[in-house]
Homo-oligomer: A and B are copies of this chain.
Amino acid sequence: METRRNRQREATRRRLVRAAIQVFSELGFGGASTREVARRARASQSLLTYHFPSKELLWQAAADDLFGRLRVEFDRAREMGSDIPPRAREREMARQLVRFSARNPEFFRFLLEVGRSQNERMEWLVDTHLTPIYREFTASRDEPPELLAHVFYAIAGASSTLFSVAAECERLTGLDPTTEEAIETHAELIARLFER
């Protein structure tokens, strides 16, 4: 039911999840504190634990949100690309991936943080969110099967690293990766790199 309470409730949860995504992606799971998340969402820590009874569940909610965004992007891209020849479609998909990475740098930071070691969060993320994505990837590609994993991580890394370390990149190279120009340049580079 769409009561005023429910609307307010969902708005609050969104604020909390958004803050959680930021803090987790900046500080990692262990480095992030629930109080810092609450602070950024302009909420009390007790409100946070009310909506998300444990840090674990908060992290899962953040992951759900991020993968939801990717899902939206994917579906839109597939729809738009259904009538384009396969060669041009692959190029466009690569471009879209770069643009997604630029708009959601937190996404790959999540993946990189959790994939480092064997732990429950990694297993949950793989089983819940990553496996369906990888399945789609393998189905859309015609590389020999023993190369699929290599290409997958090469594309992912090449597309996202620039945006994942934007602050470092700017200080090191002078390039600000968040500008529209930088994003499109990178998209073009990645698309060229992985064609064929």
- Residues of chain A having any CB pair with chain B under 8 Å: 25-32, 109, 111-118, 122-123, 125-126, 130-131, 134, 146-162, 164-169, 171-175, 177, 182, 185-186, 189-190, 193-194
Q: Closest residue to A187 on the B side, CB-wise?
A: B150
Provide the main secondary structure of the chain A interface: helix
Question: What is the CA–CA distance of A152 and B173 in the complex, to the nearest angstrom?
Answer: 10
**B117 in contact with A167 (CB, 8 Å):** yes
CB distance from A58 to the nearest CB of B (A): 15
Q: Closest residue to A143 on the B side, CB-wise?
A: B189
**A116 in contact with B164 (CB, 8 Å):** yes
Q: Closest residue to A119 on the B side, CB-wise?
A: B167
The oligomer's copy count stands at 2
| Chain B residues near A25 (CB-CB < 8 A) | 116
**B165 in contact with A126 (CB, 8 Å):** no
CB distance from A32 to the nearest CB of B (A): 7
**B168 in contact with A111 (CB, 8 Å):** yes
User: Are A173 and B154 also in contact (CB < 8 A) when A30-B30, A116-B164, A165-B112 are?
Assistant: no
| Chain B residues near A116 (CB-CB < 8 A) | 25-26, 109, 164-165, 167-168
Question: What is the CA–CA distance of A106 and B171 in the complex, to the nearest angstrom?
Answer: 22
Ranked nearest first, the 8 interchain pairs of A and B with the lowest CB-CB distance are A30-B31, A115-B165, A157-B161, A115-B168, A157-B157, A28-B28, A149-B173, A153-B162
| Chain B residues near A193 (CB-CB < 8 A) | 154, 193-194
Q: Closest residue to A117 on the B side, CB-wise?
A: B26
Question: What is the CA–CA distance of A111 and B165 in the complex, to the nearest angstrom?
Answer: 8
User: Are A161 and B28 also in contact (CB < 8 A) when A122-B168, A151-B189 are?
Assistant: no
| Chain B residues near A126 (CB-CB < 8 A) | 168, 171-172
CB distance from A148 to the nearest CB of B (A): 7
Question: What is the CA–CA distance of A194 and B131 in the complex, to the nearest angstrom?
Answer: 28
- Of B31, B109, B118, B153, the contact of A167 (CB 8 Å cutoff): B118
| Chain B residues near A114 (CB-CB < 8 A) | 168
